[in-house]
Amino acid sequence: MKTSRKTIRPSWRKLLAKEKFLQLPAAHDALTAKIIESTGFKAYQVGGFALDGARFALPDIDLTHLGEKSQVVREIMAACDLPVLVDCDDGYGDVKNVTYTIRLYEEMGVSAAFIEDQQAPKRCGHMAKKRVIEAKEMAMKLGWTT
């Protein structure tokens, strides 16, 4: 089992500049990531629904947070050397939590991340009745304004 080696993944920016279209299949576990890599995809993503759906047979409805999700992401990344886009839910709080989340994922070698602008408790993107925060609040969470 690969767990401690440092992988140099291709740069996300270079990958996007080189690829006209980029398909990102979702990996919910290490085996899926290996299959994605072996079939020739250039990158993949780890989403909340993929993780929670595979573990609990439920949509991504705020059941799991950074601690649980980052551990699974670490295990998946240990099996696959491709660049990875990771779902960071709503960043798990305010600007200090978002900063911690991004720094943790950077340290792990995550290539790209996305953060949703939903009010807590968040709901899976395809579900109805989602509520979003104001643009100014989201900008503050990302550290863009004070």
Topology of domain 23-141, CATH: TIM Barrel (3.20.20)
pLDDT value at residue 114: 93
* 102-129: pLDDT as tens digits: 999 999 999 999 999 888 878 777 778 8
Which range (3-12, 92-101, 133-142) has the least confidence? 3-12
Amino acid at 8: I
Determine phi and psi for 22, rounding to 5 degrees: -130, 110
Residue 46 or 8, more confident? 46
124 an active-site residue?
yes
pLDDT value at residue 132: 87
**Nearest in space to 54 (alpha carbons), one of 66, 72, 41:** 72
pLDDT value at residue 146: 59
Helices (H), the chain: 12-18, 30-38, 48-56, 66-79, 95-108, 135-141
Res 4 pLDDT > 70 = no
Q: For residue 120, give every residue at least 6 positions away whose Cβ sits within 8 Å of its Cβ, in sequence order, or none.
A: 62, 90
End-to-end CA distance of the chain: 44
84, with CB counted inside 10 A (0-12, 13-18, 19+), is buried
Query: What count of other Cβ atoms lies within 10 Å of the Cβ of residue 135?
Result: 9
Residue 143 or 4, more confident? 143
Domain residue spans of the chain: 23-141
Given the residues 15, 54, 102, 124, select the one marked as catalytic: 124
Amino acid at 82: L
* 17-69: pLDDT as tens digits: 999 899 999 999 999 999 999 999 999 999 999 999 999 999 888 889 999 99
**Nearest in space to 79 (alpha carbons), one of 38, 33, 25:** 33
